[in-house]
């Protein structure tokens, strides 16, 4: 039997640190439920001491998600560790994940501590965590740029103090695969008590090598990989869970290791992350990108028609990708809709299904065909949105080469109706100006993206915006067959996210 690789999913913690990717409790819990379907081994639910909101999210997930280890991050501080335990204590085999930097760069410029002080602090805080739970993970932040002998010394000491998992992160995405593999092997050969703990890696993608480094680490003895769905996370992101899992499955002959991830849920999980965070997956992204199983070249198409394996190394069904695009139409009933939504990974209450069904019928009357992406857009609008301080009631626009672009917008703001007509450079600019004046906001638009959710002239348009206000950056997402309306929805979604963040900070 091949060695098992433990999958430590940190989409809810490190993934949420992507600019604009903040999630509320409802969104985090839905994603946690999907991670249970994927059968990951550990879910890192958040950083409990970071805020009251993060504490409540971690606690709610630990209290209600069963059959999987739930972890909470904690610095090597008494308050962090105590707070993490308070949030986690009702979970199944809860894990306290504590960390402290070991590189001389961090010691000198960030911590202003000596190596001796770091060693002493690490041991003391691991002992404190071990007093709460036998499931303790210690991470040596910036380990790949640290002196390896010092890391070995720290790891040996924290194992004796009660750590059962040791994480060797490539925090800045600096390592190269061959180099990183040798570092892992050095640890295994130079830590006398390493057999008492699981060696883990957490790689960032600054040089595009996170997956390669993680696989190199596995080949040299690491048995846990910390990763996120779609590879989201700080800066250029983290190791993409789907890439590691499918890499091991596809190249099992060269990589004799396995995970227990149910890969058929990968595609639905990837789409859920995109829907919740508003962070799109690039079309050429490995495994889950829109073009991952698309073939345009005549030579490739000819080969595919003769034998799929000529140009596909994976079966799309292994990640849960349904080749049949057409799903539902305007004559479909509630039961068919419920079955399809559940197959996409979304479990709805009766009241939520009622709202989705009404919206589904409205869109289906406009479109001839309904696709999974259309349903996800509806779910985003009707189920997954955060509480809305600002709601779009109606809008109308005028535009053209000889017409002043004008938008008339009617909003519901905290239960009161407002309306305004504004002239702009174009109809979208005019609608944004009207919304800003009515809401009294002064956010700056940093990014605007528009795309077609599906093909055809009747396709829903999807707009994503990134807006910033007083140092807070959020992503807004909106969809509608009318692209100007989709843009207004996206802008309002972003403003509502800012309201949500500001409330959480108080």
Among the listed residues 234, 235, 103, 100, the one whose alpha carbon sits nearest the alpha carbon of residue 161: 100
| Degrees to nearest 5, angle at CA 463 with 457 and 468 | 165
Q: Is residue 297 part of a domain?
A: no
Please tell me whether residues 112 and 232 are part of one structural domain: yes
Q: What is the DSSP letter of 17?
A: G
CA distance to 43, 138, 169, 292, per residue, from 211 (Å): 19, 22, 13, 17
Give me the helices (H) in 109-258, please: 115-130, 148-161, 177-190, 210-219, 241-250
- Residue where one domain finishes, among candidates 363, 384, 405: 384
Phi, psi of 10 (to 5 degrees): -115, 25
Within 8 A by CB and 6+ apart from 358, the residues are none
């007093």: which residue's tokens?
131
Please tell me the distance from the alpha carbon of residue 148 to that of residue 143, in angstroms, as a whole number: 8
**Residue 372 sits in the same domain as residue 394:** no
Q: What confidence score (pLDDT) does residue 303 get?
A: 54
Q: Are residues 58 and 153 in the same domain?
A: yes
Q: Record the tokens describing residue 100, joined without a space.
A: 């402290």
Q: Do 97 and 126 belong to one domain? A: yes
Q: Are residues 216 and 244 in the same domain?
A: yes
Give the total number of structural domains in the chain: 3
Q: Answer whether residue 58 is part of any domain.
A: yes
Q: Which two tokens stand for residue 259?
A: 């995970």
Q: Are 44 and 66 in contact (CB under 8 A)?
A: no
At 283 the pLDDT is 84
The whole-angstrom separation of Cα 39 and Cα 96 is 20
Per-residue pLDDT at 372: 72
Tokens 């009622």 locate to: 354
Burial label, 192 (beta-carbon count in 10 A; 0-12, 13-18, 19+): exposed
Q: 168: which 2 tokens?
A: 């060797």
What CATH number did the domain enclosing 225 receive?
A: 3.20.20.70
- The answer to whether residue 318 is domain-embedded is no
Q: Could you give the 3-state DSSP secondary structure of residue 131? A: coil
User: Is 231 among the domain residues?
Assistant: yes
Q: What is the structure's pLDDT at 347?
A: 79
Going 183 to 189 to 192 to 196, the CA torsion angle's sign is positive
- Residue 299 falls inside a structural domain: no
Q: Are residues 394 and 380 in the same domain?
A: no
> Are residues 433 and 376 located together in one domain of the fold?
no
Task: Give the span between the Cα atoms of 83 and 398, in whole angstroms.
Answer: 55
CATH of the domain at 453: 3.30.160.270
Kindly state whether residue 42 falls inside one of the protein's structural domains: yes
How do beta strands 416-423 and 390-398 pair? unpaired
Closest to 168 measured CA to CA, from 124, 192, 218, 203: 203
Coil, helix or strand at residue 265: helix
pLDDT < 50: residue spans in the chain:
295-297, 299-301, 304, 324-327, 506
| Contact call for residues 258 and 250 (beta carbons, < 8 A) | no
Nearest 10 degrees: Cα torsion 479, 482, 487, 493: -40
Kindly tell me the burial class for residue 369, based on how many C-beta atoms sit within 10 Å of its own C-beta (0-12, 13-18, 19 or more). Answer: middle
- 161-200 residue pLDDT tens: 999 999 999 999 999 999 999 999 999 999 999 999 999 9
Question: Are 169 and 189 found together in one domain?
Answer: yes
- Give the strand pairing for 390-398 and 444-452: unpaired
Q: Which pLDDT score, from 0 to 100, does residue 311 have?
A: 64
In a 3-state reduction of DSSP, which class is residue 35? helix
pLDDT of 462: 83
d(CA 266, CA 37): 10
Both 364 and 428 in a single domain? no
Query: What are the pLDDT digits (tens) for 135-165?
Result: 999 999 999 999 999 999 999 999 999 999 9
Within this chain, do residues 413 and 373 fall inside the same structural domain, yes or no? no
Does one domain contain both 352 and 464? no
Domain annotation covers residue 138 = yes
What residue numbers bound the domain in which 352 lies? 324-384
* 279 closest CA partner among 174, 386, 380: 380
Residues 145 and 244 reside in one and the same domain: yes
* Residue 298 domain-assigned (yes or no): no
């Amino acid at each position: 039997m091949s060695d098992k690789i433990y999958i430590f999913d940190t989409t809810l913690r490190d993934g949420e640190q992507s600019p604009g990717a903040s999630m509320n409790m409802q969104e985090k819990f839905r994603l946690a439920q999907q991670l249970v379907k994927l059968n990951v081994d550990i879910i890192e639910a958040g950083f409990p001491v970071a805020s009251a909101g993060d504490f409540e999210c971690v606690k709610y997930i630990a209290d209600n998600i069963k059959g999987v280890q739930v972890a909470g991050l904690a610095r090597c501080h008494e308050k962090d560790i105590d707070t993490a335990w308070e949030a986690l204590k009702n979970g199944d085999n809860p894990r306290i994940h504590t960390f402290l930097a070991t590189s001389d760069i961090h010691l000198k410029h960030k911590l202003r501590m000596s190596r001796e002080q770091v060693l002493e602090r690490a041991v003391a805080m691991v002992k404190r965590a071990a007093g709460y739970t036998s499931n303790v993970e210690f991470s040596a932040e910036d380990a790949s740029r640290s002196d390896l002998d010092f890391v070995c010394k720290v790891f040996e000491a924290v194992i004796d103090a009660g750590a059962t998992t040791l994480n060797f992160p490539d925090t800045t995405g600096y390592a190269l695969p061959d180099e990183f593999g040798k570092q892992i092997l050095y640890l295994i050969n130079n830590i006398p008590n390493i057999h008492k703990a699981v060696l883990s890696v957490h790689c960032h993608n600054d040089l595009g090598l996170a997956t390669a480094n993680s696989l190199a680490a596995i080949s040299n003895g690491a048995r846990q990989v910390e990763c996120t769905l779609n590879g989201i996370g700080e800066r250029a992101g983290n190791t993409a869970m789907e890439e590691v899992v499918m890499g091991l499955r596809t190249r099992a002959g060269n990589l004799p290791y396995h995970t227990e991830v149910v890969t058929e849920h990968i595609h639905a999980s990837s789409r859920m992350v995109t829907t919740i965070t508003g962070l799109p997956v690039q079309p050429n992204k490995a495994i889950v990108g829109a073009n991952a199983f698309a073939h345009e070249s005549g030579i490739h198409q000819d080969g595919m028609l003769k034998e799929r394996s000529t140009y596909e190394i994976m079966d799309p069904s292994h990640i849960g990708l349904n080749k049949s695009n057409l799903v539902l139409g305007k004559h479909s009933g509630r039961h068919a809709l419920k079955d399809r939504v559940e197959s996409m990974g979304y479990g709805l209450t009766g009241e939520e299904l009622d709202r989705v069904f009404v919206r589904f019928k409205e869109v289906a009357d406009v479109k001839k065909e309904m696709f999974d992406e259309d349903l996800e857009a509806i779910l985003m609008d009707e189920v997954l949105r955060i509480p809305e301080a600002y709601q779009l009631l109606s809008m109308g626009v005028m535009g053209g080469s000889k017409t002043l672009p004008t938008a008339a917008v009617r909003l519901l703001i905290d239960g009161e109706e407002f309306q305004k007509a504004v002239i702009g450079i174009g109809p979208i600019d005019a609608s944004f100006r009207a919304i800003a004046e009515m809401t009294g906001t002064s956010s700056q638009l940093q990014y605007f993206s528009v795309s077609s959710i599906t093909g055809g002239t009747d396709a829903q348009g999807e707009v994503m915006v990134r807006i910033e206000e007083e140092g807070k950056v959020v992503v807004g997402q909106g969809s509608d067959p009318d692209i100007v309306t989709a843009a207004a929805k996206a802008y309002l979604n972003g403003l509502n996210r800012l309201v949500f963040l500001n409330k959480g900070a108080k």
